[in-house]
Amino acid sequence: MAKESFDKEIQILRMLALTSGAFTRTQFAERLGISVHTFDKTIRRLKEVLGSMHQHLTQEQSREWSEAIRYSYYESADPLLLFLFRAKSVKASESYRLSLLLSAMDGQALTVMELLDICCSPPSDETATIEEMPMPDEKTIRSDVKYLESVGVIRKESAARPYRYRVNDDLLQALSPEELLDLYDYIDVMANTQLPSVQGYLLRDGLKKHLLRGQAQTHELEPFLYKYHYHSRVLDEAHLFTLLHAIEGRLRVRFLYFSPKSERSYASRNTNPLFERETEGKQQRTLPLKLVYDHQYGRWYLLGHGREGLRKYRLEGVTQIELEDAVDAAGYEDKQAELAEKLRYSWLIDTGKPVTVRARFYHTGLARNFVKERVLLQGQWGQIVEEDDEAFIYEIVVNGTTEIRPWLRSFGSSCEVLEPLQLRREMISEWKEIQSTYESI
Amino acid sequence: MTRLEESGTFTVTSHERAWLKTMLAHPAAAEAFAADTLAKLREVLAPEAELDVARHLIEKARSRERQVYHPHLRPLRRLIAERQGVRLTYAVKDDREYTDHPGLPYKLEYSMVKREWYLLWYRLRQPSLMSTRLQKIRAFAAEPLDSHTAERAQQRIAEAIAARRTEAVIEIVPLYNAELSRILYAFSSFEKSVDYDSGGDLYRVRVSLLGDEIEYLLSKLRFLGRRVRVVQGDYLIHRMRESSAKALARYAEAEPEIEAAAPEERTS
């Protein structure tokens, strides 16, 4: 909601989360295409933000930074990477005034003039802090109120002038403590198992703090675990709402794209030509059509239409995104429909030629139910076409065999590819390679 | 922000309410709330817009969603919060049934792979850490535990988890360094650290996991195929060797002389 762009912070966090301390500062900076100085500055800023969000972490700040955001399944139920989104939702420089306004509107409806009075005569224990803060004028308060109303945190009491505003906490007021716990659980489960997640995590975080201010103990609020989460995926949701907005409004977008295969993933936007450097990022202009989330790797894609036709981008490579002009509705819907048709048989996002893949799965012994269950669960639109006591045959039409191949291979010797012959040969060759790798160990 | 928290004001944005409204449309909502709670929530959220996400988002390679909520979830999470004991009647894999086993439940775990809930508990009779599908729990009742037993059980749980922890080191075959991002994404669901040797341009991923997670790690290793190799972890190495030998035997039975080079595998 703040205008600030957190591209650089997100790139750094993602790399930290994925590589967990593999690189030195210099190596990091090199890979991000920024100077060591900028890297240090960004890390300092992240630490500040993190320190103000998670008080319990401040005493641990001496720990290595990568250690602090390291994924630890049994110790942390809070998605740590989320703090960046929290930082984003309220402008830091105004947080003092906004918090004063919000606590004033908590439980009572007030006019802008009444709020101005409160801001100019804060409670006595706050005077020490207020001395550093300039006295706000009516215009400032009006714009604050407008901002808080636009993000939905407060609402107008009635249509009568002068407008009176109050904190919009109907959600809390409507429910008993017992019901709030059910709500908290539901938010937790849905944020962890459904898409998108970030809004749910923020809501969970707010409600958790509210419950902790009441009777609840931390252990009471962390009864659930979720196994095998791609926790860095929340970072890739950073551009999600911008892109959804673009799709909804049929707007073209422009961004600097770093293909994930390039070594660098961020370019500093220097204005001084002396510092201008070659970057591997490419300026892209595209018309977003669909977003794809790939559960196999936990990754987001943007599918758009550009000058060369259909283009696919990984969201983690998208930075400095800007909205442009709108296109007309009729042509846009055609393009969307055409894309949907092309993706029908994509295991992930391959829009190549459809082929029929047939594989025999063996389900004898202990693995009996396990293999079949997994195929039924993960096999997308594929069907089991034949079955006996020893094995069953699974058949699916997919665009190309590249994307389904790792999945088939993950079954090990429980899966034998029958068709197409080319894929069968590739599997044999790859198993041979794996075998020779382990023979030498 | 810290101040907002100190002031005790609960703030919720319209985006967050829209998200909640969208999630309440999921069938799981009916199992998660009492009917009148759900009605109240829907009424409060009536003025909000819903998110447009579903219309513009395609989810691929998603497991079929068998279960998001389970009726046992609400009562069991309350037992855990109150640190109560439990008496369980449950079935195991081959459908043998165990009746009235006392224990201490400590977490409810959702498997994103199997899309199903499990109760993690410590069994007091024949002590051991248990992971039981909610689907297989036939009956349960709260069982008061004296504080001494409960404390000891908590301690045993922590010890047992620590004892099950194991480590493996996986090397990324340098030929595939260009696919680093994809490979690290595949390991991002594990607790891990990465070492980089700039001289040899070599990445090594040290994965720390519990014993019962080894099968999942193995499926990831087979998934990545020749891009990675286990360099530390005897059991994993043994299993990978066995997997490749058995897989090749399957193919050999059908046609003994096939030789071909696999082309590059790419998804992006």
Between CA B19 and CA B14 the distance in angstroms is 8
List the single best residue of B19, B176, B202 to mutate versus A (max A Cβ within 10 A).
B19
User: Is residue A105 domain-resident?
Assistant: yes
Yes or no, beta carbons of B63 and A103 under 8 Å apart: no
Q: Is the minimum CB–CB distance between B177 and chain A shorter than 8 Å? A: no
Same domain, A318 and A254: yes
What is the rounded distance in angstroms from the CA atom of residue B226 to the CA atom of residue B245? 15
The string of pLDDT tens digits covering residues A156-210 is 988 888 899 988 888 888 899 999 999 999 999 999 999 998 888 889 888 988 8
Helices A36-53 and A25-32: crossing angle, nearest 10°?
Answer: 100
> How many domains does one find in chain A?
5
Q: Are residues B189 and B131 in the same domain?
A: no
User: What pLDDT shows up at residue A344?
Assistant: 95
CATH code, domain with A154: 1.10.10.10
Q: Are residues A336 and A241 in the same domain?
A: yes
Is the confidence at residue A40, as pLDDT, over 80? no
* Percent of chain A's residues with pLDDT above 90: 36
Is the confidence at residue A273, as pLDDT, over 70? Answer: no
pLDDT tens for residues A353-369? 999 999 999 987 665 57
Q: What is the ipTM of this complex?
A: 0.90
For residue B260, tell me if it sits in a domain. Answer: no
Taking contacts as CB-CB distances below 8 angstroms, the residues of chain A near B1 are 52-53, 86-87, 90, 92, 95
Do A332 and A257 have their domain in common? Answer: yes
Q: Does B157 contact A at CB distance below 8 Å?
A: no
Q: What is the CATH number of the domain that holds B108?
A: 2.30.30
* Nearest CB neighbour to A199, from listed B16, B40, B59: B16
DSSP chain B: -HHHHHHT-----HHHHHHHHHHHTSTHHHHHS-HHHHHHHHHHHTTSPPP-HHHHEEEESPPP---S--TTHHHHHHHHHTT-EEEEEEE-TT--EEEEEEEEEEEEEEETTTTEEEEEEEETTTTEEEEEEGGGEEEEEEE---HHHHHHHHHHHHHHHHHHEEEEEEEEPGGGGGGHHHHHHHHTTSEEEEEEETTTTEEEEEEEEEGGGHHHHHHHHHHHGGGEEEEE-HHHHHHHHHHHHHHHHHHHHH-S----PPPP----
Q: Is residue B201 part of a domain?
A: yes
A220, A424, A425 ranked by CB distance to B81: nearest: A220
Q: Provide the shortest C-alpha distance from residue A279 to chain B (in Å).
A: 18
User: Any idea what the CATH number is for the domain that residue A435 is in?
Assistant: 3.30.70.1150
B239-259 per-position pLDDT tens digit: 999 999 999 999 986 664 444
Domain-located, residue B116? yes
Same-domain status, B35 and B82: no
Residue A277's Cβ-count burial label (10 Å; 0-12, 13-18, 19+) is: exposed
Same domain, B181 and B246: yes
This prediction has a pTM of: 0.85
Residue numbers of the domain that contains A392:
354-439
Looking at residues B77-82, what average pLDDT do you find? 92
Q: B48 and B84 share a domain? A: no
What is the tally of structural domains in chain B?
Answer: 3
pLDDT band at A280 (very low <50, low <70, confident <90, very high): low
Same domain? For B132 and B96 the reply is yes
Q: In this structure, are A163 and A177 located in the same domain?
A: no
Q: Same domain, yes or no, for A151 and A138? A: yes
- Residue span of the structural domain in which B114 resides: 73-145
Residue A272 in 3-state DSSP?
coil
Mutation target for B interface from A32, A105, A431: give the one with most B CBs within 10 A: A431
Of the residues A95, A194, A234, the best mutation for testing chain B's interface (the one with the most B CB atoms within 10 Å of its CB) is A194
Q: What tens digit of pLDDT does each residue of B17-30 get? A: 999 999 999 999 99
